[in-house]
A and B are shown apart, each in its own frame.
Chain A
Amino acid sequence: MNWDILGQQIWNGLLNGSIYVIFAAGLSLVFGVMRVINMAHGELTMLGAMLLFTVTSVVGLSYFAGAALVVVMMALAGFLVNRVTVRPFLGHSELVVILSTVALSFILLNGSLVVWGSTPKGVDKPFNEVLQVAGVYMTTAQILLVGVCFTAVLALYLVLTRTKLGKMTRATGQNLLGARLIGINTTAVYDATLIMASGLAALAGVLIVLISAASPNLGQPLLITGFAVVIVAGMGNVGGAVAVGLFLGLTEALFGQYVSTFYRQGYLYVVMIIVLLLRPQGLFGRR
């Protein structure tokens, strides 16, 4: 066995896994707290990537300033997402909310195609030196990606477990009526949840451009991958989504290297189907 190749594939898997983790965490958070399937989550990530392209290549900001600006802007947009496409429909059937987020994803995707066109856009990376660590080639941009992802997940964990907002968020997710009864402003919690989720989605977007190009079409496949991750983990379980996202990213890369490159894309779905057959509620799902 060639250890260098193994190491390289683990690193590649870690890169993809980091994106899966941060994307699926937001998707799962919204479902866990609000019982909303956000069909527009992929387009929020796409918008993050495209806006980064505009503020860096067109406006001329540096990558870091641009990324910070985009993430903050998109987090604030999460407030609008809640007020326009989620909150007005909460009294109705859960399906109406799905439809309104579908409408939002229609608008974002096709609006982006009108604005940016469908050709992928490259974004200048802040630094891109190639390092060799223990036989594994990695670029500094990739290290940045993994580092930021883990920091973000850690921050999300701390917010959810150590702050009052996190406590209120979890309480709302566990029992909406109970949370209201003890005086939690669930409207504000819902706003905060979508602000966090939208920020995470945009963060995934600004990080994706470090390893691939920005394109209006990157949202849909990512959404499907994200759903595969949360299905395996169990909907609404943020911690499970993080663990499964990382696991699937790593094993997907190893599968591609040692089993079959051609069926690599099918790997996620095969894992998903096995989990669905044995535990339809997901590995970490309750019930």
Chain B
Amino acid sequence: MRLRNRPGLWFGAPVLAVAATAPLFLFTNAYNRGLLVLIVIYAVAGLSLDYIMGEMGQFSFGHAAVWGFGAYVSAKLALDLGVSPWIGFLAAPVAAGLVGLLIGYIALRRTRGLELAIVTLGFGVLAWTVALRWRSVTGGPAGLRQVPPPSLFGWEIRSELAYYYFALLLLLGVVFILTRLRESRFGRAVRSIHENEDLARSIGVAATRAYVFAFAFACALVGFSGALYAHHFRFVNPNLLGLQYMFIFLIVVLLGGTGTVWGPVLGAAIFVLVSEWLRALQEYRFLIFGFVLLMVVLFMPNGVFPALRRVARRVTDGGRSGGDDAARRACPGSGGSEAG
């Protein structure tokens, strides 16, 4: 019963166990451990995009631009002002959150759904173009190198292993914050707007304001992910703001499954590992990847995690799950809360 009350746990605990021990087997060399770090970075970005997609029911095509912006903020602070990366890890989400507040304030007052997607695409493309051409600040297409890694008590977190555990810890913090936020008064207000905006307004939810803050929160989170990227790969370039990463985040979220906490984490792991596995195919890699993507969308349009969860529930409930599943699906309010 305990497991059914805390559905996130049955998945979270094994995932955590695998994640914590992964560097001991399989991921034993620095290169493979770098992949683990990338999974964590994409997972944080995916979680933040999923806050917009799953909780708000909206979409931002400018999310990668905010991600790249966060990466640049932290990198510039460290490179130009010699600010510690730890400050950067705080400054990047703050700056990204402010940008999110601004964009959200402009866009969310008048647009929703696909129109919002297009408007944010406009902002994203603009940011990418500016980054590409503003050489004196962004370094132009070559970007900026030699971004310093964070250090702890005078010891630089340079090794992939240390950075991985560091990032994993932060990912857990993000998951914790997200879970709490979803169940908070604010989180429930956001979900009520998602379900029915007019109804939410009628019971006194300040819909646009809640959405603007939710959007800014997601932007802050993705800015943080960007800072993680900058200090791990130790370079930033304008392509971080471009559509390529936008597509990656979109794939991470939709592959894993929207509206769940573990979906984007799983999606990030699958994306990084599959595209790495396809690397051997060289120029055919992205061609094959396109087909894989199309197949996944065709056969698992809701993502991998919900499919897994259905199987797991059938196992833990032992045959009673059919009716239970149907009842859950019939009650839309339970969709988000069971994911925590």
Contacts and interface: CB of A to CB of B under 8 A. Distances in A.
Interface string A9-53: 000000000000000000000010001010000000000000000
B47 interface: no
B106 A99 contact: no
Contact of A106 (B119, B254, B293, B298): B293
Interface in A61-101: 84-85, 88-89, 92-96, 98-100
Contacts of A104: 290, 294
B21 to A, nearest CB: 32
A95 B250 CA distance: 9
A272 B301 contact: no
Interface stretch (A119-127, A136-144, A225-233, A248-256): A225-233
A113 interface: yes
A107 interface: yes
B287 A106 contact: yes
Nearest to B110: A280
Contacts of B284: 110, 114
B107 A280 contact: yes
Contacts of B289: 106, 110
Interface in B283-298: 283-287, 289-291, 293-294, 297-298
Contact of B294 (A103, A263, A272): A103
A60 interface: no
B126 A287 contact: no
A111 interface: yes
Given A110-B286, A281-B115, A269 B125 contact: yes
A159 interface: no
A107 B290 contact: yes
Interface size class on chain B is: 35 or more
B35 interface: no
Contacts of A88: 298
B294 A100 contact: yes
A100 B297 contact: yes
A133 interface: no
A273 interface: yes
B168 interface: no
Interface in B172-210: none
A43 to B, nearest CB: 10
Nearest to B121: A227
A281 B111 contact: yes
B125 A228 contact: yes
Given A99-B251, A272-B126, A277 B106 contact: yes
Contacts of A231: 118-119, 121-122
Interface string A215-233: 0000010001001101100
Nearest to A107: B290
A212 interface: no
A131 interface: no
B26 to A, nearest CB: 28
Residue among A89, A220, A266 facing the most chain B CB atoms (10 A cut-off):
A266
B241 interface: no
Interface string B247-287: 10011001000100000000000000000000000011111
Given A230-B118, A235-B114, A95 B126 contact: no
A102 interface: yes
Interface string A240-261: 0000000000000000000000
A280 B119 contact: yes
Contact of B133 (A109, A227, A266): A266
Given A269-B125, A276-B106, A95 B301 contact: no
A175 interface: no
A174 interface: no
B59 interface: yes
Interface of A: 31, 35, 37, 84-85, 88-89, 92-96, 98-100, 102-107, 109-111, 113-114, 220, 224, 227-228, 230-231, 235, 263, 265-266, 269, 272-273, 276-277, 279-281, 285, 287
Given A95-B59, A99-B250, A273-B122, 19 more contacts: A35-B114, A37-B117, A37-B118, A98-B59, A98-B117, A99-B251, A102-B250, A103-B293, A106-B289, A110-B289, A227-B118, A228-B125, A230-B118, A269-B130, A273-B126, A276-B106, A280-B110, A280-B115, A280-B119
Interface of B: 53, 59, 106-107, 109-111, 113-115, 117-119, 121-123, 125-126, 129-130, 133, 243, 247, 250-251, 254, 258, 283-287, 289-291, 293-294, 297-298, 301-302
